[in-house]
Structure 1
């Protein structure tokens, strides 16, 4: 009997140890495990950056948002309005929208911060996330203004979300001026 208790105690201790070792899923894995992958949109700048589009069949934005936030609390969560809600996690933006082709379904767009920084039309975030928060998340000073100018120079070819592009997105022709802007430049005597 003592041997059984010791064995059970060791098993419980091992399980708790594994749980405490950071064996957790990130939001991308949780979404990929639960929802159907519908499409992938590649970045016009870096082929390693992408937005993956999943479908939550028969689920409302509220259903999906509640489930995701119960699994992992986002760093930022917008209010839901006009059939859209944005959740921001570490290195990942999750945009929930009603599927215009199937109104009973919710599209879940999972984009890396690199994809967002280099491809999104800044107006996509109006009323959802303040630009100063985006500047911090994307590690670009004045991202909204700089990206808006880049989008204008490219004839408005910036990404406006999956419902607008449906896989036809090709990207702006003008390279971003803020790539690699996360480090401060300057040499000796620049006062930085």
Structure 2
């Protein structure tokens, strides 16, 4: 009987630990979804990877970053550079950019590793002291045209962040050939 109680306790503690570990990335996602206004979702036509865009009104990038860090400590914190900052949580990237239409607003993107690796312009992260970490995460050469979906095979259609071009790929206006907009449940 004693062994059953101990076994039950061990299983219960193990299950609780797994649940805590699984919820780590969603804690920051849940906070952003509940705190900020949803703006758009950008979906790749190539691999269905998505990035969700939110708006923090009356908050600058560094204010939003500090708030999010207080909610959940990221695995990596990129340096604030040119109105941009990145926080990395497990598989989730929180990419904050100054709204080009209003410097007192911040655009917040929630992207998974797949979206960042396959679609983001590697130069976007320059100066944030994340280059070595991203190379380790995505593999050597992730930023070369052969390894990155935005390379020459796709006409250099790199995604430069929502604030850079309203969610379009570089070199086009509006929604580009690589991405389409819409909200959750909008028929994708």
TM-score (norm: length of structure 2): 0.72
Distance, in Å, in 2 between the alignment partners of 1:20 and 1:44 is: 34
Q: Is the 8 A contact 1:135 1:141 kept in 2?
A: yes
Distance, in Å, in 2 between the alignment partners of 1:73 and 1:134 is: 18
Mean Cα deviation higher: 122-131 or 140-149: 140-149
> Which structure has greater strand proportion?
2
Question: Where do 5+ consecutive residues of structure 1 fail to align?
Answer: 1-17, 173-192
Distance, in Å, in 1 between the alignment partners of 2:147 and 2:120 is: 8
Mean Cα deviation higher: 19-28 or 150-159: 19-28
Distance, in Å, in 1 between the alignment partners of 2:110 and 2:38 is: 10
Q: Summarize the Cα distance change of 1:20–1:137 in structure 2 as closer, same or farther, 3 Å threshold.
A: closer
Paired residue for 1:164? 164
Does the residue aligned with 1:31 lie in a helix, a strand or coil?
Answer: helix
Does the residue aligned with 1:143 lie in a helix, a strand or coil?
Answer: coil
Q: Is the 8 A contact 2:118 2:148 kept in 1?
A: no
How many residue pairs align between the two structures? Answer: 153
TM-score (norm: length of structure 1): 0.71
Q: Is the 8 A contact 1:151 1:157 kept in 2?
A: yes
RMSD across aligned positions (CA): 2.5
Distance, in Å, in 1 between the alignment partners of 2:70 and 2:162 is: 25
Mean Cα deviation higher: 85-94 or 156-165: 156-165
Does the residue aligned with 1:26 lie in a helix, a strand or coil?
Answer: helix
Paired residue for 1:33? 34
**Deviation string, structure 1 residues 60-94 (Cα, Å, up to 9, x no partner):** 11211111000111111111121111111111111
**Deviation string, structure 1 residues 146-179 (Cα, Å, up to 9, x no partner):** 446852332221111112231324329xxxxxxx
Matched, 1:141 2:140: yes
Distance, in Å, in 1 between the alignment partners of 2:29 and 2:162 is: 17
Does the residue aligned with 2:40 lie in a helix, a strand or coil?
Answer: strand
